[in-house]
A and B are shown apart, each in its own frame.
Chain A
Amino acid sequence: DAMVIQNPRYQVTQFGKPVTLSCSQTLNHNVMYWYQQKSSQAPKLLFHYYDKDFNNEADTPDNFQSRRPNTSFCFLDIRSPGLGDAAMYLCATSRDDHSNQPQHFGDGTRLSIL
């Protein structure tokens, strides 16, 4: 049973056209994360939510935004995608951020920019 679900699995958008990726979880975890992973690179954390508290990484471009309307859902918005934003985007969750716990990942959305 999928616990972290990302939709769509593949997304194609045009240069400069806004795009939204979605993530949902059935684990009732407090923390949700968004990572960007480019080919042969390590996943790079973009931001995370602890409950409704948003935490942005210092080097995450302003082009990337996120919304978490409730515990189960989290969205990644790319306002004006550039060619360099083509990547795999991974959503992950963890129960909380106050103890050593693994993060649980979805299967990712592969974003292509035309």
Chain B
Amino acid sequence: DQQVKQNSPSLSVQEGRISILNCDYTNSMFDYFLWYKKYPAEGPTFLISISSIKDKNEDGRFTVFLNKSAKHLSLHIVPSQPGDSAVYFCAASASYSGAGSYQLTFGKGTKLSVIP
């Protein structure tokens, strides 16, 4: 049973426009959410995160929004650039884990293509 879902396997956006990547989760204990970016033949690279005490976090062109009541988060990239073309993974963790381990649960990823 997938606890973190990225329902869009792929997304195409024109250069300069906004890219919106979505992620849904089912585990209400998740309290920390991250986005990773992955280029082919490379490992995932941390992009941006948000704690459940916030509903928005911004870093340059990247903004993550969290809607706890809907168990939904989204990543906005504006303006989109061709170099943003990659697979984006949503991940979540729960700090309640008794072992003290903030294990990440990943979605399957969304492949973003930014068209010049």
Residues of B in contact, count (CB < 8 Å)? 29
What 1/0 mask marks residues of chain A from 82 to 101 whose CB sits below 8 Å from any chain B CB? 00000000101010011111
Most A Cβ at <10 Å: residue of B34, B51, B102 = B102
Chain B residues positioned under 8 Å from A50 (CB to CB): 100-101
Number of A-B contacts (CB under 8 A): 63
Min distance, Cβ B59 to any Cβ of chain A, angstroms: 12
Tell me if B70 counts as interface (CB < 8 A to partner A).
no
A107–B45 alpha-carbon span in the complex (Å): 9
B34 & A102 in contact (Cβ 8 Å cutoff)? yes
A45 & B46 in contact (Cβ 8 Å cutoff)? no
Tell me if A70 counts as interface (CB < 8 A to partner B).
no
Residues of A in contact, count (CB < 8 Å)? 28
B4 & A97 in contact (Cβ 8 Å cutoff)? no
Residue of A nearest to B99 (CB): A55
What 1/0 mask marks residues of chain A from 37 to 57 whose CB sits below 8 Å from any chain B CB? 000111111001010000100
Min distance, Cβ A34 to any Cβ of chain B, angstroms: 12
Tell me if A108 counts as interface (CB < 8 A to partner B).
yes
